[in-house]
Structure 1
């Protein structure tokens, strides 16, 4: 049964021939899926639970970086800042999950787990 599809020849389109770029494309696709899975989970939590059960103030919006003037050094600085913010977000989501949802046990625990999963998946998408 394992060799029944070995003789089938399907021509790949020219754009699908990735060659040396295959690993880079796979990394980009995997990171994107993790990032959007994290946002999908938190949107589900926000839609399912009221603002009393899940406080929407746990999300902070910020402006993105648009132009650079230091070249490679600025890129490294921004990458470092991104990792610090990512780790900080994971630590804050664990703090919120246990402090607000796990220990009091008056509220459902899923919003806390959703908040943590969002942050861990977005960080894994880096």
Structure 2
């Protein structure tokens, strides 16, 4: 999450060291994004009835959450092959696991866009439930973005 800030020049401040706190800040931002996505969807599920928002539309968020945990279970060292312990499948297994997680994440995001337009925009229904499905998946997608170089999973 904080890797995109590597080339950005921060103003010099003696009171706060960003190098020490970068992983913590990235973890907090990712957690807030994940929480916000689920909060939006829970709010929409409580607000709208079954006729306005079908229960099957929650499937995208569930797959996105599973993909979030799959992506965050693999460390950067396992993907690069820098880890001392190879594990069951080694570097190739970690890469395949990460690839499957990203494919599930992209698939969930695309499915949420399909739900938004197919069930709400084109038939000219109220688009708020469709936007809730989309924003849930978009926030979960952005919460599992690039990780800092020294990142290790908490699992």
TM-score scaled by structure 1?
0.75
Tell me the distance in 1 between the aligned counterparts of 2:108 and 2:102: 10
C-alpha RMSD of the superposition: 2.3
Partner in structure 1 of residue 33 of structure 2: 34
Pair 1:80 & 2:99 matched: yes
Partner in structure 1 of residue 49 of structure 2: 50
Tell me the distance in 2 between the aligned counterparts of 1:22 and 1:75: 27
Tell me the distance in 1 between the aligned counterparts of 2:27 and 2:17: 13
Q: Unmatched 5+ residue regions in structure 1?
A: 1-16
Note the C-alpha offset of 1:19.
7.2
* Cα deviation digits, residues 35-54 of structure 1 (max 9, x gap): 11000000011000011110
Pair 1:110 & 2:109 matched: no
Partner in structure 1 of residue 115 of structure 2: 96
Partner in structure 1 of residue 138 of structure 2: 120
Tell me the distance in 2 between the aligned counterparts of 1:124 and 1:52: 30
TM-score scaled by structure 2?
0.62
Tell me the distance in 2 between the aligned counterparts of 1:21 and 1:80: 30
Q: Which structure has the greater CA radius of gyration?
A: 1
Partner in structure 1 of residue 88 of structure 2: 69
Q: Unmatched 5+ residue regions in structure 2?
A: 1-15, 74-86, 145-155
Distance 1:18 1:51, change over 3 A: farther
